[in-house]
Amino acid sequence: MTVRVPAYTAAQVRAVERPLLDAGQPLMRRAATALAGVIGERLTDAAAPRVLVIAGSGDNGGDALYAASELGEGIEVDVLAVGSRVHEDGLAAALEAGARQVSVDEAVAAASGYTVVVDGILGIGTSPDPALRGAAREAVARLLAAMGDGMRRTVAVDLPSGLQPDTGVADDVVLPAAVTVTFGAVKAGLVIGRGPDLCGDLVLVDLGLEPGLADEEPAGEASVTRILEA
């Protein structure tokens, strides 16, 4: 069963989030808790669950790292940082919970053993050209080659990294997701262009943005498998 919901541009979502963030609403931690729940569901049948978290420089990396810190005992978590910096508090929380940092060589060598890969590289703050660059592009290209169709184990944080959030434009260096956990509202790029081919199932995390979005003209419409309260 799916639910039809409106989709919005990145600018619309950011504008509605800003007053909540300025008021001190812990949107990142709420999003991360919901994300951790979805990741955890995909680990329940694994005899020795192992997770790779690919973390970029921005808030998506923070979401992914905080989620990693909430996965609980008995789950091996590797963190691959691919940005020019890393969300320090999120990384500290993940490491304190037992995660370990790995190099791209280590992640590629272990690729076949990951139960879930968490794509937390880029979010809606990406430029008009969404293509991954530098260490992030190298890591994704090498993981794609190492895992092939197995990349459908990926859980995308907000949207698959490298997908333009408004237009759905993407090149071929993108991790195809089994499920995309999108926060606050569905982004327009998830339902047009290459979005439907890359995002897998859509799960919407309700962060209370509806009142602020009520006066906005939706950029499209999406089908989500479920809506999670956070």
Give the per-residue pLDDT at 151.
64
Give the per-residue pLDDT at 16.
95
Residue 230: pLDDT band with limits 50, 70, 90 = confident
- The DSSP element (H or E) to which 66 belongs, if any, is helix 59-69
pTM score of the predicted model: 0.96
- Which CA distances in Å does 175 have to 5, 22, 69, 97? 25, 33, 22, 26
**Angle (CA) 36 11 65, round 5°:** 20
pLDDT in tens, 120-163: 999 897 677 889 999 999 999 999 999 876 568 999 999 999 99
CB-based contact 17:209 (threshold 8 Å): yes
Tokens of 162: 């490298």
Query: Diameter of the chain by CA atoms?
Result: 49
The DSSP code sequence of 209-230 is: -HHHHTTSPPSEEEEESEEEE-
Listed in sequence order, the residues at least 6 apart from 159 whose beta carbon sits closer than 8 Å to its beta carbon are 123, 124, 165, 180, 182, 187, 189, 190, 195, 199
Give the per-residue pLDDT at 125.
78
Q: Is the pLDDT of residue 24 over 90?
A: yes
Q: Is the pLDDT of residue 174 over 70?
A: yes
